[in-house]
Amino acid sequence: MIFKSVGKPALACMAAIAITLAAPVLAERPVKVGHLTHHTGQYGGFGDFFDGITDFTVNVINESPPMDRPFTVIHEDIGTIGETRGVRRLLNVEKVDILLNVSHQYDQYREMLLRRIKHLKKPLLPSVHGGSIDPELGGVGTEPLFRGSPMDTAQSSAALLHLSESGKRRIVFISTTLKGHQQQRDAGKKAAEKLGLTIVGSVDIQPTWTDYTSVVKKVARMKPDAVVVLSAPYNGGLLVRNAADAGFSWTIVGTSEWQEIDFVKTAGESALAFHESVVLSAYAHVESPAWEFYQKAVRASPQAEKIGDVANSYAMQYYDLLVLTALAIEKSGSVDSDKWSTAMHAVSKGKGQVVHNYAQGITALRAGKEINYNGVTGSMEYSKTGVVSGHFGIFSWSDGQLKRISVADGDRVAELNQ
């Protein structure tokens, strides 16, 4: 084989061609989003809904994608294989740029993930379910975790504030052994003490149990004014039904997870009507141009049936978080974790032009302007560790529809959640 040397002019020409060819290839290469979702297991009923709101928001973004790189989504069911295995598959097989929804099992693979981010500067870690992760973690390039909602503990504080304002004084907590529910229970106890309420009991339950009658009878002996139940939809629905079947009519407050229709199906309308009150604490929307755009766009989309209630807090969190994620990618000009994390703080607060949807934001950024995204859930200001501000409401189910019955004082909730 004969090797020939290449002169400098030829090398320069080849380099120019390479640059010319590389630019459009990079621009067209999609940003891969690995979505940790649930189609089986305890939260399997959420699967189509979670996928639907993700696909809807990605479609909105892809009308004018950041850096001209469209988003593609891989929906990874972790209900059976677990979060850790799902994460490893998305990283090692799919090689995603964005890992959406690290959650309860984050501490099991965190060190591995951070080592990867240190060397590759990815994946980015926006998470709707990050409220269960230690609030001291995140918000920086070395750990680019940004949450789509306040800490899970805040919704528990909002629930206790509702009970206090309703005149309830004797409180019992029932919580599954899941880490997030235990955190909410502990925060709820602290909030109750600050509010001058009396905690007369706390009971742990297993999510695999198929009957909670013995738990119901135990709680009844404590003579509560109200019962705070921290559980998945099925467990909460079953407990509500078991209590009604046993003849106990209580004031019950559940979590945002009870927005899933499986809760109503399991509890039954007759059991819900039997109790003095059954409500849940969840993220609420703010009346604004962002809300007007979002609800109309969802209802007109192919995903409308999967998403269902546009005011569902999970739907709004997914939407706002993914929009911010894309705007920060445009702002930073890359999916580099350091640059993106800085941009996430920049586009969500400050003195920039206020924008209420993705199209407004991307247009302003491309015009060289600073922006401040105010979304469906209001101002999306992040703490140094990637915890976002929030707006809470109290909701109840009626005739198969979830209705907001009151709004919690956000400042008071934040104070109670300290």
What is the pLDDT of the chain when averaged over all its residues? 91
pLDDT in tens, 237-292: 999 999 999 999 999 999 999 999 999 999 999 999 999 999 999 988 989 999 99
pLDDT in tens, 103-148: 989 999 999 999 999 999 999 999 999 988 999 999 999 999 999 9
State the DSSP string of 136-157: TS-SBTTB-EEESSS-HHHHHH
Report CA Rg, the chain. Answer: 23
pLDDT in tens, 377-387: 888 889 999 99
What Cα–Cα distance (Å) separates residue 416 from each residue in 76, 157, 190, 196, 383? 36, 6, 8, 12, 17
Using the Cα atoms of residue 63, residue 65, residue 70 and residue 74 in order, give the sign of their dihedral: negative
Q: Is the pLDDT of residue 3 over 90?
A: no
What Cα–Cα distance (Å) separates residue 187 from each residue in 59, 122, 160? 37, 32, 10
Q: What domains, with CATH codes, occur in the chain?
A: 26-127+288-376 (3.40.50.2300), 152-284+392-416 (3.40.50.2300)
Distance CA 198, CA 344 (A): 41
Query: What are the residues whose beta carbons fall under 8 Å from the beta carbon of 168, sequence distance 6 or more?
Result: 197, 225, 226, 251
Structure tokens at 126: 């926006």
Distance CA 266, CA 232 (A): 11
Residue among 359, 306, 349, 316 at smallest CA distance from 75: 306
Q: Report pTM.
A: 0.83
Distance CA 291, CA 377 (A): 8
pLDDT for 6 equals 36
